[in-house]
Amino acid sequence: MTSVPETVQETGEETLSTMDRAVTISQVAALAGVSTGTASKALNGRGALRPETRLRVQQAAEQLGFVANAAARSLQTGRTYTVGMITTDSIGRFSIPLLIGAEDALGAGQMSIFLCDARDDPIREQYYLRTLFSRKVDGIIVTGRRTDARAPIGIGLPVPVVYAFISSTDPRDCSVVPDEADGARRAIRHLLAIGRRRIAHVTGPEHHHSATVRARAAEETLAGEGVRPATPTLYGEWSEAWGRQAAGILLSTGADVDAVFCGSDQIARGLAEALTKAGKQIPGDVALVGFDNWDVMVEGCQPALTSVDMDLEGIGRSAAEMLLAAINGTPAHGRHARPGRLIPRASTAV
């Protein structure tokens, strides 16, 4: 015998389910002590509400077990409560932490994210852009595996776009990026604070934005303290192999070095391995600081690596919050740099 589901009356209120007694937004509003309209705005991430009011409504909804009906919400607001994220970071090294941060910010408004991997292919990128528009997303976050500025993904698009980790060359666009210069300054100041004065810098390709920004900030910070670099900056690749090769260069030239700031954790791990094989003690003879705070690298390094964390999840949260603001009619233009933090570990524990 086939059971027949109960008929749901079109009351215009958002419901918990079609099978059980519904928890309505009116009940949520009553428990929170606000109007139904205010409760709707708080749960949908709309309106200029006080944080304590929004929190009180969200707590009431959670207490009652209220779950918004997506279809009803979309009809009422004209939004789909979905956001697209387009990335060129195929392995997810940068895009996954950004995604986690964005989901943290969007989750309060019960919004979902479509993740699209463009693989550095402009044709694929435009295909995903059209696909996201066809799904009526409310906004788009664009990211990648490098911090270099890129051309806008489109002009005159029908929804707001925010760039995260990477930036747009158009100053009218909203870009949320790591403050890499600030990170380099933190690394150098940390090495100076532990008494190191003969500091070398080993980094990635000279034509990469990240390598040049970090190197320039390191040199300026040393100069500001009246300290000369132990060697000219060594540019190479973002790899452990380059780190081992750079260690060989430092050792073969007899450079008087008591610390090395590396432009990435991969470089630092390779350099640590080569220095240890050559009989150098870390951090006794040479202290090491990396950049990225990539858990696989900093924990796999011997000893554990001090590193600069760019707070990728924080960048993702900020990008999502700015996208929400733009969706609600208050866009933030320009480039917004977020400071990182230095995570000290055994490689500088002297």
**DSSP-derived secondary structure for 69-102:** -HHHHHHHHS---EEEEEES-TT-TTHHHHHHHH
CB crowding 67-90: b at 16 or more within 10 Å, else e: ebbeebbeeeeebebbbbbbbbbe
pLDDT at 22 (0 to 100): 61
CA 138: distance to chain centroid? 20
pLDDT at 21 (0 to 100): 56
Superfamily in which the 180-309 domain is placed by CATH: Response regulator (3.40.50.2300)
pLDDT at 328 (0 to 100): 86
User: What's the CATH number of domain 17-68, 1.10.1240.10, 3.40.50.720, 1.10.260.40, 3.40.50.170?
Assistant: 1.10.260.40
Neighbours of 117 (CB within 10 A): 18
pTM: 0.78
pLDDT at 70 (0 to 100): 56
Superfamily in which the 80-178+312-340 domain is placed by CATH: Response regulator (3.40.50.2300)
CB 165 within 8 A of CB 94: yes
Size of the chain in residues: 350
How far apart are alpha carbons 36 and 40 in whole angstroms?
A: 6
Q: Do the domains 80-178+312-340 and 180-309 sit in the same CATH topology, yes or no?
A: yes
DSSP 194: T
Quick one: 166 exposed, middle or buried, by C-beta within 10 A (0-12, 13-18, 19+)?
Answer: buried
pLDDT at 15 (0 to 100): 37
pLDDT along the chain (350 residues), means of 10: 37 38 78 85 74 88 76 58 90 89 82 90 94 94 91 93 96 96 98 97 96 97 96 96 97 92 97 96 97 95 97 95 91 94 94
Q: Where are the domains positioned within the chain?
A: 17-68, 80-178+312-340, 180-309
Name the amino acid, one letter, at 158: P
pLDDT at 2 (0 to 100): 38
What is the β-pairing status of strands 341-343 and 306-309?
antiparallel
pLDDT at 210 (0 to 100): 95
CB 214 within 8 A of CB 291: yes
CA 161: distance to chain centroid? 16
What is the β-pairing status of strands 174-178 and 161-164?
parallel
